[in-house]
Amino acid sequence: MKIRRSILWFCFGIVAIILVVISFSKRPAIAPDIPSPYPPSGPTTQPASQPKASPGASKGQFLKTSVSQSAVATAPQKSKGERTLEILSTQNDVPIDFYGKLEDQFGKPVVGAEIKGNIVVYNGQRAGTDHFSTASDVNGLFEFHGRGEQIGMMPHKEGYALASLNGGGKYSHLYPEDQRVHSDPNNPVVIKMWKLQGAEHLIHFQTEFAIPLDGTTTTFDLQTGERVQSAGDIIVSVKSSPIPNIREQYDWQVTIKAVAGGLISCSDDFEQKFQAPDSGYQPEFDIIYQKNMHLWTSRFINSFCFTSRNAGCYGKLAIEVISDVVKNGTVPVIINSYVNPSGSRNLEIDPAMVTAAHP
């Protein structure tokens, strides 16, 4: 019996040793999880499990990683409104320093002109306009300073008219660099003013016509305001689709000719064109819009200075052609013109010296 008991105890010991060996073989070879010493705050959601330390990493390294990740997870998030206010206060509220110079058509400084300026403010705390006023010095120089998004201005002096529209502009960093004003005191922005020479009699003509879209020419007499078969001042023709589809686009063109004269484009300053050029005229302008071309449009809008009737008159003409409005095979053409019938290039407008075109 003693022998059997010894054998049983021996077997039991062998089994115990085997279980201990198996237990140790299944234990993980990496360090146990170390929780972050900083408890989570607020409603921030924590990961399902803490990150594991890589094999060989010290407890100090692991603790540093755990704390860093916990800090990121619990960082307060800004609302959309807070982010918008921050952007407006830093990007849309910037220093504005504008340096300008007033010159007349002869390149001489305009001295003692009053310049009224306004700075648009939109910084998240305030939306409004700051108003300023200053005067040009003996060199025609002036300047404005403030803070905001953009600046605008209007010079005024008796006997002068504003002849350019380049005063002011955007300073906000929300606009691309090439669209912002970078005014330099050593290179001021030149703003042109026209020294009036004395208005002369002008004939004004403004109306809308329907002209064929098949290329048939239409001649206008801008002094009588009539369509004519011959003579007159300008000839207009349009070729366009009889069934225009803006979505699909289409080919179309406008041709403008001067009768016994020529035209010069002045699209940016029709109202500020106080004198017709003495040279550089072209007999006609052909404007072609091809389907799918860059900047395709269904409307042509431009303005010209012109001479006609063998330089018997000079004038300025604004014209708009609307190709996507078709009725009975015609499209609308809108004409606005001033003609000096004396042969002078003077186009200064004094309402008292302007009469309407009539037969």
pLDDT at residue 3 in the model: 47
pLDDT tier, 268 (very low <50, low <70, confident <90, very high otherwise)? low
CB neighbours of residue 162 within 10 Å: 19
**DSSP string spanning 189-219?**
EEEEEEE------EEEEEEEEEEESBS--EE
Q: Name the more confident of 20 and 223.
A: 223
Read off the tokens for 20.
């201990």
Q: What is the pLDDT of residues 143-186, one digit of tens each?
A: 999 999 999 999 999 999 999 878 889 999 988 988 898 889 99
Quote the CA–CA distance of 171 and 183 in Å, as a whole number.
10
Classified as helix, coil or strand, 292 is coil
Of 231, 281, 284, the closest CA to residue 253 belongs to: 284
Query: Whole-prediction pTM value?
Result: 0.67
Q: Structural domains in the chain?
A: 84-195 (2.60.40.10), 202-356 (no CATH)
Read off the tokens for 348.
């200064």
Q: Name the more confident of 45 and 213.
A: 213
Strands of the chain, DSSP E: 94-103, 114-122, 127-135, 141-148, 150-156, 160-162, 169-170, 189-195, 202-212, 218-221, 226-228, 234-239, 252-258, 262-265, 284-289, 299-308, 313-322, 330-340, 354-356
Q: Name the more confident of 58 and 296.
A: 296
pLDDT at residue 255 in the model: 98
Residue 313 phi/psi, 5-degree rounding, is -155, 155
Q: What is the pLDDT of residues 232-261, one digit of tens each?
A: 999 999 999 999 999 999 999 999 999 999
40: Cβ–Cβ under 8 A, 6 or more apart, which residues?
Answer: 46, 70, 73, 74
Share of the chain above pLDDT 90, in %: 64
Read off the tokens for 353.
């010296």
Share of the chain above pLDDT 70, in %: 79
pLDDT tier, 74 (very low <50, low <70, confident <90, very high otherwise)? low
Quote the CA–CA distance of 315 and 203 in Å, as a whole number.
9
The residue with tokens 């755990």 is 66
- Confirm if 302 and 325 have CB atoms less than 8 A apart: no
Angle (CA) 60-65-67 rounded to 5° is: 95
Quote the CA–CA distance of 316 and 311 in Å, as a whole number.
13
pLDDT at residue 275 in the model: 93
Q: Are strands 226-228 and 262-265 parallel, antiparallel or unpaired?
A: unpaired
